[in-house]
Structure 1
Amino acid sequence: MLRKLFFIIIFLSCSFCFSQYKFKGQIAEQESGKTIYLSIIEDYRKFGRISMEQILKKTTTDSLGYFSFNGNNLISENRIYRIHLDDCRESSSNSEHFFGSCEYSKSILFIANNNDTITFPTSFANEALCKITSTNSNSSTFLDIDVLKEQMAFDFNDFRSDANRKLNSKKWFSSLQDFGEKLDEPLAELYIFNFLSDKRNETYTYYLKDIGKTDYYTKLGERLNSKYPKASFTDLYLNEIAIDQQIADSNSSISQLWKWFLPLLLALSIALNIYFLLRNKQNVKNADSEAFEKLTEQEQNIVLQILENKTNKEIASIMFISVSTVKTHINNVYKKLQVSSRDEIKRRFKSLA
């Protein structure tokens, strides 16, 4: 029994000893003394920049440009890490390379855990930190996603029209999300989510619409909570999704309100215009009637004859009065109505014709 317990202890001790990572690579031949950082990224909104609080270790390259990080102090679960080359001179070093904007700094994002062995070899033309060879099948997924993002950018820039943007947004949201889900690694999906939901990208507007139409984001939260229940990035994602869902619901409610409000507003506007038009016509008619009633009986008869296009001579014959008397009555009508022609009388009393 004691012998069995002894072997179990030895086995566990050996397992612990062998549980370690090794990240190694080369930046270029004969590039010695360059500073290389290893960082962990818990906040997925900081994928694009480098900050001091992320850094775990630093080392320098040897005479052939090789570097290496190893130990057993990393998390046993997959996490997102960055290898960062600081190629700035000590005298000119400033905060720029800690925010990913220094032209002399290069970095690569990858997924790893405490058991992984990963190599970062140089590629063609001695390009550094752009290839990954790993014991972890998910380590290089960010590089694959970046290829898709470049294809997406090409599609967006091919024709910069609203129709093209809407079509490609729908296409690429689906393509990137499906690709991430098939990887069975929520960390890769977080990388995609960070890109699609970035307020600085053209995709953000579509993201706010998409979050209200699909349950993808809810299911991604469930996958994160299942695989990384105690991770800070899981809580960050769940909180952010809850807020964005509220924004999307609010925008949808406002959109639905306007969908019904605008037709109602248009109908009300038409109804008011008809009402004011009819009221104006009635007011004009009432004013004309009042003006007509202020005329004498003879003047009213003459106005009615004018509305029938009768001449002065015809009016005189009909009313058994002289032409000069007709002219006198017409002049009195002009003064009372403040008009100067028979046509104005016709326009004034066209409702009586």
Structure 2
Amino acid sequence: MKYKALIFLLLLFPVIGCYAYQIEGVVRISDQWQPKIYLASIQSPENLFVASPEFMINEATIYPDGHFELKGNDLPDDPRFYRLYLVRNSLFALEFSADSTRNFMHLLLTNSSELKLNAGDQKLLFDDVRVEGSPENESLVAFEKAYFQKRHSLTLINTVAKRDFQSQSMNRSIREFVTNSSDAIVGLFALYHIEDRETDFLRNGSFYFDFQERLKAQYPQAMYTAAYDDLLNNLVGYRDLVCEIPRITKPWRSWIIGAEALIIVLLAIWVYRLKSQGSGKNEVDYFGLLTEKERTIWEALAAGKTNKEIAADLFIELSTVKTHINNLYKRLGVSNRKEAIVLYNRQK
């Protein structure tokens, strides 16, 4: 009986001591980073770009040689997205950065995942990390690395038109990756990196519907499948609002169009009245503000005559001409001869 109990305990011990998922490897960090690596759960694909300590589910120490090991037995059995990330020593708040060195990376895990991460020889953090143990994660990590490289190149473009062309090209490459991805969840990860999905959906709606069928075929009960259904419903709602969709006639569409037309008409009337009022206020009889002699001198200035020529024509002293000119400047609200001539030509 004692031997049977001993054998039972020996068999039970490995079960108690084992871990279901395990992520180990090496990451290179500098002194400005905490020697800790964190694992965060992403409940919705929309949270791929949300930084919050509330998502953290595990952490491990990074030893001086860069080695770490994360393990546990509390992940769901269906594949979901998780984030590995690091935190700066100088920050009290969680912050993700991909500008110079990327302090985060994403993985696709289940409760039985066993992955190994190998750091590159040159770059720090997650910029050159390779994943072993899962073809899906190898594809996901390769996509994420290429995406941020292209995203960084976009920031170096200094013209709006070229940046827009490059952004469309990047979206096109993402769609190609999604289409060629054998695992729909990996494709879903890439799809959520498409910039301005509303506009992209208007141009490539069939792509989004085809992917929905793939996702439902591979993961009919997955939480992310329901999340994508919600995304697609929102995109369809946006399309219905801005486009005329065949076989879809909603009562409020004509109301919105009618209201917009009425608003445009009212705005046009309002702008016209403002211009009319403004033009009425700006109509000033500048000739009536001047004496007969000043009007004559203003005409002579507009004709391009000099002060000496004006004095000779009017048989008056040169100093008198200058006095008249200074007076008409004040009456006209100008400060020099050029402004006086421009105003004269405008009054003709």
Q: Give TM class, smaller chain.
A: 0.5 to 0.7
In 1: Cα distance, 2:171 partner to 2:119 partner: 32
Give distance in 2, aligned partners of 1:157 and 1:176.
20
Cα–Cα, structure 1 residues 165 and 17, in superposed 2: closer, same or farther, change >3 Å? same
| 1:128 and 2:125 correspond | yes
Q: Report the AA paired with residue 113 of structure 2.
A: D
Offset at 1:57?
0.8
Contact kept, 8 Å, 2:20 with 2:111, in 1: the verdict is yes
Q: Which residue of 2 aligns with 1:119?
A: 116
> In 2, distance between residues paired with 1:50 and 1:73?
22
Aligned partners of 1:187, 1:151: CA distance in 2, in Å? 22
Q: CA 1:154 to 1:99, structure 2 compared with 1: closer, same or farther past 3 Å?
A: closer
Partner residue of 1:210?
A: 203
The 3 A distance-change label for structure 1 pair 50 and 144 is same
TM superposition shift of 1:100: 5.3
1-structure distance, mates of 2:162, 2:96: 35
| Structure 2: gaps spanning 5 or more residues | 1-13, 246-252, 262-348
Aligned to 1:243, the other structure's residue is in SS state helix
**Structure 2 residue aligned with 1:322:** none
CA contact (8 A) 1:211 1:248 kept: no
**How big is each residue's C-alpha offset from its partner over 1:189-238, in whole Å with a ceiling of 9 and x where there is no partner?**
22222221xxxx4x4463142254x2x21222222223333333222211
Q: Choose 1 or 2 for highest CA Rg.
A: 1
Contact 1:85 1:105 in 2 (8 A): no
Deviation per residue, 1:15-45 (Å, 9 max, x gap): 9998822201223389797121111212112
Which residue number in structure 2 is paired with residue 77 of structure 1? 78
* 1:33–1:62 CA contact under 8 A, matched in 2: no
RMSD between aligned alpha carbons? 4.1
* Closer/same/farther in 2, CA of residues 209 and 157 from structure 1, 3 Å limit: farther
2:78–2:222 CA contact under 8 A, matched in 1: no
Unaligned runs of 5+ in 1: 1-13, 266-353
Q: Which amino acid aligns with 1:120?
A: L
DSSP 3-state at the match of 1:129: coil
Separation of aligned partners in 2, 1:145 and 1:163 = 23
Cα offsets for 1:287-334 (capped at 9, x unmatched)? xxxxxxxxxxxxxxxxxxxxxxxxxxxxxxxxxxxxxxxxxxxxxxxx
Contact 1:209 1:248 in 2 (8 A): yes
Cα 1:20–1:166 shift into 2, 3 Å: same
- Report the AA paired with residue 107 of structure 2: F
Change (3 A) 1:162 1:253: farther
Relative to 1, partners in 2 of residues 1:164 and 1:237: Cα closer, same or farther, differing over 3 Å? same
Q: Which residue of 1 aligns with 2:24?
A: 24
**Residue 37 of structure 1: aligned partner:** 38
Aligned residue for 1:125, secondary structure, equals coil
Aligned to 2:237: 246
State the match for 2:164 in structure 1: 165
3-state DSSP class of the match of 1:50? coil
| Residue 68 of structure 1 pairs with residue 95 of structure 2 | no
Aligned residues: 236
**Shift in Å at residue 116 of structure 1?**
2.6
CA offsets 1:78-107 (integer angstroms, 9 cap, x no match): 221111122325xxx422x25659999811
Aligned twin of 2:217: 226
Superposed displacement of residue 159, structure 1: 7.9
| AA of the residue aligned to 1:210 | R
Q: Distance in 1 between matches of 2:74 and 2:131?
A: 21
- What is the match of residue 237 of structure 1? 228
**Is the 2:62–2:68 contact (alpha carbons within 8 Å) kept by the matching residues of 1?**
yes
Identity %, equivalent residues: 15
Cα distance in 2 for partners of 1:195, 1:248 equals 20
* Partner of residue 186, structure 1: 184
Say if 1:53 and 1:100 are closer, same or farther in 2 by CA, change over 3 A: farther
